[in-house]
Structure 1
């Protein structure tokens, strides 16, 4: 029997089918998200306000919102519900479709889980007013769709990473009331709201952030630049003789003196002049009597001996400088190329380059356009004479892989070092500056060139200068535009005394330095070995992931190599380069010998350079084979034995 549908019955059938499909959608349940939420709430102590019925739909739970089809959780809002303790890993990080997450105003502690990097669709993250600790979570810098990030009022520490620039859609970044330190990165995102007040930040405020009010930067005592007071001058100027105030300065008065006052002043002046004349006559008469009562002696002529730059007279050794003019000057070292004085330096515009345990470094641009680096030392304990002798020694070191020390300044309150400015930055910035999508990888040839240049500079310090560097690290390896490296901050460890803890080389210091606090040539070799491992692995010695595991970089490399996972050691950016695996392995072997725990098992720097140059014997036009200590290069150094 044939069944015939008219237009009305057809519409009825379609409506019935739609109703069935809608019913099927209503009954759908985000099973995976449901399990993740239950795991989170079961592992996190909380108030009774959060009562999720495990038998009901997760989309109906308190604080949970799902999409229109109830197929995934899109929003989780649990503000002020008494959540206590750390955020469990492998719970909220499984909500892969989450758009909004708010856990503000609770008592959450510990670090933000690394698996938050899985929340790639997250647009808003509110974690303010908790007790979260640790450094700025790098996992959050991978959430490229974030528009609002609020981590304020927590206990977060460490630097604000440059990789925040990966968050190109960010409009609000609120980090106030934490313990963030270091300098502010130049954030290029189109921010409408920004606040880093009440932290421990230092340095100059980048131009990209200068549009925000001063209240956004308040509470950071070492921040400067617009909208805060300018960074210049970067140290308090010592008064010049012409600036010393007179004991009784005469103040100008707006009213004219009366005739009586003028007469009284004239009479008083005449009386005073008469008394002075009488006193002078009496002194001359008394002196004449004394000279006539004694046998005359032949006159003795005296001649003032000028004190040359870099030296001091015996009187200076006793008093630490005889006149204000002597104290208020720069001392230029051998082979200086600059012609400016302390006043020029005081007027220079300054920008903070970095702040460390030995002092703060500034980029100073003088009025005539000269750019130098000024390091303002702190906690110097040696005498002026000892300081000058060490500066004279360091000033004689000339080598293409050593940043020359140009001048110094010593006073009771200020100790300054002046050296060349290297516009290409440091190895540390090049290796770790930005690991985001816009990063330009540091290729193998350049890494090897930098390592070899640093090795040659260190060898010259040991052989020709007889100087222990004492502070080898990636931020003290500076680069020229041609990627040639030069070491800086060398030989200044003697200025701080033996009682100073060796925290200035944290992550790079040799095991024996921790115990004896004595720096040697072999401890320099150990630090250089750690530097090689940093170049090969792309990991900083003080990287958070290593600190969490409680091991240092050399031990981590040893553990990976021991398990025969040598390929896992190398930086992922180096894996794509072909025909260099053998060179990388050989350089890794050199590094592992340098970081031997027994100092006598480590090679000398001249042996390290020789082995590194042998790795590159196949190269032809890069000049890596020739030693930089060759006298024909004009370095002023002798050829090492």
Structure 2
């Protein structure tokens, strides 16, 4: 079994990552370029035709090495259109991409497949949307220019992970919020002027080298580097509470909702209890929260919180800290969570309060291993998902550790992760607020109603969902030291476009590992975790992904999966489906990926980014098979 797994993994790794001589690979690059032109060149400035296999290497702006596109420079050509997904992003040998000085618009697609990219020039266009989060995946990047566009939103703190950057230009956009603590030793060219950045400029050795003009036209920026004194901290922390410039809550991407006066709070809470129109169970849940807050407000100043803050954060939390926590900072965080405030994550807009959230009509969505989940509809018609953590399962973590952990998790942003918007804690109560996903869970999609016979999804749907989930998990593993820890089909939700989005990520750290779990949940657990009290690892996530993929392919819950050798596993999966014989090869490749991921030994399992490459390789091979009969001329 071990030899089969090893051979298959090597086959995928070399075939889909480094192959450079097959016609399929040559055609793949040509198709990628033609697809890009279709959407981005509405004025027909690029005259691309393909009569011979290598013609595309002679096209304008294209440079090849051994038949693969390694450089694509089409700047100043008045290209008008948008950068469509699954076009240039398939050029996985690309080193340089320059689309500068054109009229391209819209958001930037997922660039994470461009693992070899070193230089990215997208400046002087009309691109919009938030900072492309997939850029954080491009670990070989040395030049990044996004200046003179219409980008908005926060700059991710994970920019600090791009440690090879030499050139970083983000000027003339509409970026908001704090400037990350950039300290790349090799950074030589830098500009963030003409944005809407706010807060103190972090005092790092790297940023201290640059002139104040490179930070100019950001009215909200302050600090010693730009010779502008920062104002005192928010009055909600007290008029004399000031922190070092690089250690403010703003630099952590956290917004704390202030409390109202005592009388106003009591009035609102009374209205809350009287006006809450939901089922009896849900009324009870939120009433408990309201009573706890009222008691805490009435007894503040008379006694200290009985909560003991003695537990030290684990190594995983410590490793992803981007700044040193001072005694002042810790004290402020304690004040924030002890007074029961709603904390918004990573620049999320503060457009509702805790009281408004508790007045929302609520619908029970389900109960899981971490807590109970509700759909909350606000008076403003904003819909949120609220998870109430089970105190019996998560009470082992102290308030301070919970606060720090959720701040870190709240910074994770990816199209295949359900957005964590805010969190709340008071004595005995912890809530986590997510974006609402309208199309239910993957569990419901696979298994349907209990009365209906489950029918496996079409293999193309399996492939798409598997790629989405792999993207989300790979992102968590690569930009942090965190893991999901509780992957299962009910924790994969379907968004507005039926994209798969992973939820409940990184919450397993908060649970008591000694708690006896549902047997159905245990089926996703890796053997090394299931048979001991060991914490889950990234390889445990890979195992759960393999089990999930088999669930996708067969329509059978993991508790009903037999333990089979890889060759027998193929026969079992085939028996569970009614695909045409023509689909057998594709089905076999997906089953092999599931088999590799669910290997008994964690050392035999690939990393999540390697699993993603395997799935993308299958997707690319399928695309080439689809176009092969008609050719490319």
TM-score range, shorter chain: 0.3 to 0.5
Which structure has the larger Rg? 1
TM-score, normalised via structure 1 length? 0.45
What TM-score results when the alignment is normalised by the length of structure 2?
A: 0.46
- Where relative contact order (Cα < 8 A, 6+ residues apart) is larger, the structure is 2
